[in-house]
Copies of this chain bind each other. A is one copy, B any other.
Amino acid sequence: MELEDIKSPADIKGLSIEELEHIAEQMRQAVLNRTSQIGGHVGPNLGSVETIIAMHYVFDAPKDRLVYDVSHQAFPHKMLTGRVDGYLYRQDFPKVGEYTSPVESPEYDIFWAGHTSPSLSLCVGLVKARQLKGEKYNVVALIGDGALSGGEAFEGLDAGGALNENFICILNDNQMSIAEDHGGMYKHLQHLRETNGTAADNLFKAFNWDYVYVAEGNNVAKLIEALQKVKDTQRPVVVHVNTQKGEGYTPAEEYREAFHYRDPFDIATGELLIVNPGENSTSVLKNFINRSAQKYPTFLAISSATPDSFGLNAKEREILGKHYIDVGIAEQTGVSVMAGAARDGAKVVYSVVGTFLQRAYDQLLEDWAMDPSPALMVVAETGIAANKDQTHLGFWDIPMISSIPDILYLAPANLEEFDAMLEWGLSQDRFKVAVRQAVYSIEHADYEVEKDYSDINRFKVIKRGSKVALIGAGDFLIKARQTAELLKDKGIEATVINPLFISGVDKDLLASISKDHTLVATIEDGSIEGGFGERVATVASPLGLKTLVFGVEKKFVDRFNLKELETENNLRPEQIADIILANL
- Judge if A218 is at the interface, Cβ distance under 8 Å: no
Q: Which residues of B sit under 8 angstroms from A281, Cβ to Cβ?
A: none
Q: Which residues of B sit under 8 angstroms from A115, Cβ to Cβ?
A: 362, 366
Question: How far apart sit A542 and B583, CA to CA, in the bound complex (Å)?
Answer: 7
A537/B541 in contact, CB under 8 A: yes
Closest to A186 in B: B162
Question: How far apart sit A358 and B155, CA to CA, in the bound complex (Å)?
Answer: 16
* A13-21, A82-90, A492-500, A523-531: which lies at the interface: A523-531
| Docked complex: A534-570 residues within 8 A CB-CB of B | 534-535, 537-538, 540-542, 544, 546-549, 554-556
- Judge if A123 is at the interface, Cβ distance under 8 Å: yes
Interface string of A194-222 (1 = CB under 8 A from B): 00000011110111110000000000000
- Judge if A365 is at the interface, Cβ distance under 8 Å: yes
Given contacts A132-B299, A151-B154, A405-B555, contact A339 B122 (CB under 8 A): yes
A548/B541 in contact, CB under 8 A: yes
Interface majority SS (helix, strand, loop, mixed), chain A: helix
Q: Which residues of B sit under 8 angstroms from A358, Cβ to Cβ?
A: 361-362, 365-366
A298/B528 in contact, CB under 8 A: no
Interface size on A, residues (CB 8 A): 120
A366 nearest CB across to chain B (Å): 5
A133/B390 in contact, CB under 8 A: no
Closest to A185 in B: B158
A183/B161 in contact, CB under 8 A: yes
A328/B529 in contact, CB under 8 A: no
- Judge if A96 is at the interface, Cβ distance under 8 Å: no
A337/B159 in contact, CB under 8 A: yes
Q: Which residues of B sit under 8 angstroms from A132, Cβ to Cβ?
A: 297-300, 322-323, 341, 346
- Judge if A270 is at the interface, Cβ distance under 8 Å: no
B183/A158 in contact, CB under 8 A: yes
Question: How far apart sit A371 and B556, CA to CA, in the bound complex (Å)?
Answer: 11
B118/A366 in contact, CB under 8 A: yes
Q: Which residues of B sit under 8 angstroms from A114, Cβ to Cβ?
A: 366
B328/A158 in contact, CB under 8 A: yes
Q: Which residues of B sit under 8 angstroms from A336, Cβ to Cβ?
A: 118, 121-122, 124-125, 152, 156
The one of B124, B206, B340, B528 that contacts A202, using a Cβ cutoff of 8 Å? B206
A118/B363 in contact, CB under 8 A: yes
A98 nearest CB across to chain B (Å): 15
* A42-50, A396-404, A429-437, A470-478: which lies at the interface: A396-404
A130 nearest CB across to chain B (Å): 7
- Judge if A501 is at the interface, Cβ distance under 8 Å: no
A541/B546 in contact, CB under 8 A: yes
Given contacts A133-B345, A184-B161, A391-B370, contact A406 B556 (CB under 8 A): yes
- Judge if A129 is at the interface, Cβ distance under 8 Å: yes
B529/A403 in contact, CB under 8 A: yes
| Docked complex: A142-156 residues within 8 A CB-CB of B | 149-156
Question: How far apart sit A241 and B64, CA to CA, in the bound complex (Å)?
Answer: 43
Question: How far apart sit A114 and B159, CA to CA, in the bound complex (Å)?
Answer: 23
Q: Which residues of B sit under 8 angstroms from A343, Cβ to Cβ?
A: 110-111, 122, 125-126, 129
Interface centre among A106, A403, A542 (most CB of B within 10 A): A403
Q: Which residues of B sit under 8 angstroms from A535, Cβ to Cβ?
A: 529-530, 534
Given contacts A155-B330, A346-B129, contact A185 B205 (CB under 8 A): no
Question: How far apart sit A406 and B112, CA to CA, in the bound complex (Å)?
Answer: 14
Q: Which residues of B sit under 8 angstroms from A123, Cβ to Cβ?
A: 340
Given contacts A327-B124, A340-B121, A367-B111, contact A345 B546 (CB under 8 A): no
Q: Which residues of B sit under 8 angstroms from A361, Cβ to Cβ?
A: 358-359, 361-362, 400
A184/B155 in contact, CB under 8 A: no
- Judge if A465 is at the interface, Cβ distance under 8 Å: no
Q: Which residues of B sit under 8 angstroms from A174, Cβ to Cβ?
A: none
Interface centre among A158, A367, A529, A554 (most CB of B within 10 A): A158
Q: Which residues of B sit under 8 angstroms from A158, Cβ to Cβ?
A: 149, 183-185, 328, 330
Closest to A115 in B: B366
The 10 closest A-B pairs by CB, nearest first: A161-B184, A125-B340, A151-B151, A184-B208, A154-B154, A403-B530, A121-B336, A129-B344, A158-B183, A125-B341
User: Which of A's residues lie within 8 Å of B, judged by CB?
Assistant: 65, 102, 106, 110-112, 114-115, 118, 121-126, 128-133, 149-162, 182-188, 200-203, 205-209, 236, 297-300, 322-323, 325, 327-328, 330, 332-333, 336-346, 348, 356, 358-359, 361-363, 365-367, 369-372, 390-391, 396, 399-400, 402-406, 527-530, 533-535, 537-538, 540-542, 544, 546-549, 554-556, 583
In the complex, besides A128-B337, A206-B206, 20 extra interface pairs with C-beta distance below 8 angstroms are A111-B340, A118-B363, A124-B327, A124-B340, A128-B341, A129-B344, A132-B300, A151-B332, A152-B363, A154-B154, A183-B207, A184-B208, A185-B206, A202-B206, A370-B391, A399-B403, A403-B529, A403-B530, A530-B535, A542-B546
